[in-house]
Amino acid sequence: MEKEVHEQYEYARKRIRQKKVLYFHFVLFLLGSLFLFVADVFFGLRIGEEKNWCIWIITLWFFIFILHFIKIYITDRFMNKKWEREQIERLVSLQQKRINQLESSISETPENNI
């Protein structure tokens, strides 16, 4: 029982850390986007001939943030330790079944007497 409680605690701690990093990423995205927008519009910083270069960078960064969000709230929620354990047990049982089939097929074949 103690091991299960410890595993639940570790899982909760890991999830909280993941969410904390995601929230930090969101705040960093907002502040970084604001800085890029101000640098582009008010200070007239240009990269080459491109106007509104900050929009491209903010869009790319937003896409990366969305991928991070999907990983934390969708992928990791369903593919956690319990899911890993079930998959391992399923694969081990399939391997054991295959080993048993091979052993039975070997024991059924007649031996060659030379």
Distance in angstroms (rounded) separating the CA atoms of residues 68 and 21: 10
pLDDT of residue 45: 65
Distance in angstroms (rounded) separating the CA atoms of residues 48 and 36: 16
When comparing pLDDT for 50 and 103, which is higher?
Answer: 103
| pLDDT (average), residues 92-99 | 92
Reported residue count of the chain is: 114
pLDDT of residue 113: 47
Name the pTM for this structure. 0.65
**pLDDT at residue 22 greater than cutoff 90:** yes
Mean pLDDT of the chain: 85
SS3 content of the chain, % helix, strand, coil (to 5): 80, 0, 15
- Tell me: the pLDDT tens digits for 40-74? 878 776 666 667 788 889 999 999 999 999 999 88
Q: Which strand (E) or helix (H) includes residue 16?
A: helix 2-41
